[in-house]
Chain A
């Protein structure tokens, strides 16, 4: 189990113990955290599970695949530190990670 914190756009925090191997998106949607839609269920097809990852965590995550990279490039609220949470696998290396969510996924 790895502790991760999701922070809604309005600042509300949700800290979860997540089974390693799940994606951040799965952890959030199964726990009903508002702000992550994940319409496609994790197929990297819809870009509705975007989160912002603080710079200090970036090196601990697997690099973006080209598919994720370009999907993000065309997302409305995308920023330099955006990631698609369906592409981030939870592992002990992410213990304590805090990600924030955009205003909207559409």
Chain B
């Protein structure tokens, strides 16, 4: 069944990249029909606050939704919510939905994002075992927020630690279990891991590293404990699992589009099919600053690729090539990250992470700044963002010297 509508631009996914693409398409002068298809019930909303202020109950959905629902109607954008796309037919230029509709497109944007990596151990389906990816997930988690309740967080990454911080503030007893020998092991230097372990422990969170979860125990279908395999059970009333995300690339694969750790796009978000573009978490894209391909999980990546994709669908080149940046809020600490630290040869600390609550760690590769982790240190973050883009070779002694203003560190 065809909708009988005139073909226009179709966007699969209704997250930040999709929402930005709608705004940018109109700004670029596109006047045709836009159809946004998302599998969640809500219109596009921001995900970063979900594990922060929204989980804490400090802001409601009206503060996380990106645009009021009326905006889409006003922008001649059809919102098909709670709708899954089952297939893309690239030859016929149509998208099939799971409720049997066939929607023709002139250009297609795949902005399917990513989904949580699930934990595949016995008891995974017990009531009270949660993930955090959607507004619905947050409501499920909040339903357990009663003072004195016991939470086990599986995974000491950003999501896990942000959840731990919010839960602790709500009077919940929190234990974080991490497989590696330190939290945030995949993304930061041990200096930063040690800092966050200290902060969480000081707040009363129990952090256990080197612990691999082998199963969940339950009673009457509800989770009651987490089994670490060495005879130790961590009792709990609920669990939040944060062990990473997986890009949603299946539709692209099945449509014959090139996929390699994400949907392969160029700097203009073009896929291997001339009428199909992709933006956000689901893409694998080139980055000229780091001179390699990246798959990023960040809101900056979603927004900027959304802008680039809108331009590209209008035949304009707006290459996406930026220093990646991220942030994490835990307690009263704002961690701002610029660049990518993989492959660093030296970590330089500015400040005193072992005692203070503000410091920065600079990551150098053969003397060149490639990343920074700045805790409550906006100057270090802002200046590093510029210096990373310039491939600045910096003197570690100057970086570490607090008497030198960040604006002066690059001077010889």
Q: Which of A6-14, A44-52, A88-96 contacts B (4 or more CB under 8 A)?
A: A44-52
**Chain B, range 314-336, C-beta contacts under 8 Å to A:** 325, 327, 329, 334, 336
Residues of chain A lying within 8 A (CB to CB) of residue B327: 40, 43, 45-46
Give the residues in chain B near A34, CB-CB below 8 Å. Answer: 27
Is the C-beta of B61 less than 8 angstroms from some C-beta in chain A? no
Say how far B68's CB is from chain A's closest CB, in angstroms. Answer: 6
B367 CB–A CB distance under 8 Å: no
Interface residues on A, range: 20 to 34
Q: Judge if B23 is at the interface, Cβ distance under 8 Å.
A: yes
Q: Is B378 an interface residue (CB 8 A)?
A: yes
Given known A-B contacts A39-B300, A39-B303, A45 and B336 have beta carbons under 8 A apart: yes
Instruction: List residues of B (1-57) whose CB comes within 8 Å of A's CBs.
Output: 23, 26-27, 46, 48-49, 52
The closest CB in chain A to the CB of B74 belongs to: A32
Contact A67 B299 (CB under 8 A): no
Contact in complex: A43, B48 (CB < 8 Å): yes
Is the Cβ of B27 less than 8 Å from the Cβ of A70?
Answer: no
Q: Are B382 and A45 in contact (CB under 8 A)?
A: no
User: Are B23 and A32 interface neighbours, CB within 8 A?
Assistant: yes
What total of A-B pairs shows CB separation below 8 Å?
Answer: 55
Contact (Cβ within 8 A) A74 B378: yes
Residue pair B67, A67 in contact (C-beta under 8 Å) = no
Interface status of A71 (Cβ within 8 A of chain B): yes
Residues of chain A within 8 A of B49, CB atoms compared = 41, 43
Would you give the shortest CB distance from A94 to chain B, in whole angstroms?
Answer: 19
Q: Is B148 an interface residue (CB 8 A)?
A: no
B287 interface residue, CB < 8 Å from A? no
Most buried by A among B299, B300, B325, B382: B382
Bound-state CA distance A42–B336 (Å) is: 14
* CB nearest to A67 among chain B residues: B378
What A residues does B246 contact at CB under 8 A? none
Complex contact B299–A39 (CB within 8 A): yes
B334 near A44 (CB under 8 angstroms)?
A: yes
Interface digits, A43-81 against B, CB 8 Å rule (1 contact, 0 not)?
111110000000000000000000100110111000000
In whole angstroms, what is the CA distance A70 to B405 when docked?
Answer: 12
Q: Which residues of B contact A45 (CB under 8 A)?
A: 327, 334, 336
Is B63 among interface residues, defined by CB-CB distance under 8 A?
Answer: yes
**A39→B322 CA distance, assembly (Å):** 13
Q: Which residue of chain A has its CB nearest to the CB of B384?
A: A74
A32-B376 Cα distance, complex, nearest whole Å = 31
Task: Quote the shortest CB–CB distance from B240 to chain A (angstroms).
Answer: 21
- With contacts A26-B63, A32-B23 taken as known, whether A47 is within 8 angstroms of B299 at the C-beta atoms is no
Answer whether A30 and B67 are a contact pair too, CB < 8 Å, given A40-B48, A43-B327: yes
Give which listed residue, B27, B46, B378, contacts A41 with CB less than 8 A: B46
A46:B329 contact, CB within 8 angstroms: no
Query: Contact at A74–B383, with CB atoms within 8 Å?
Result: yes
Complex CA gap A37/B382 in Å reads: 17
Given contacts A30-B68, A32-B71, A75-B382, contact A43 B329 (CB under 8 A): yes
Chain B proximity of A68: nearest CB distance (Å): 9
> CB-nearest residue of chain A relative to B406?
A74
In angstroms, Cα B20 to Cα A37, docked, is 10
Query: B residues within 8 A CB of A47?
Result: 382
Task: Give chain A residues whose Cβ lies under 8 Å from the Cβ of B66.
Answer: 29
Give the CA-CA distance A39 to B336 in the complex, in Å.
Answer: 14
Contacts of B68 in A (CB 8 A): 30
Nearest chain-A residue to B327 (Cβ)?
A45
Identify 18 residue pairs between A and B in the complex whose beta-carbon atoms are under 8 Å apart, listed by A's number: A26-B63, A30-B68, A30-B71, A32-B26, A34-B27, A41-B46, A41-B48, A41-B49, A41-B299, A42-B63, A43-B52, A45-B336, A67-B334, A67-B378, A70-B379, A70-B382, A74-B383, A75-B382
Q: 10 new A-B pairs (CB below 8 Å) besides A43-B52, A70-B378?
A: A39-B299, A40-B48, A41-B48, A41-B64, A43-B334, A44-B334, A67-B376, A70-B382, A71-B382, A74-B406
7 tightest Cβ-Cβ pairs between the two chains A and B: A74-B382, A45-B327, A70-B378, A41-B46, A71-B378, A70-B379, A39-B303
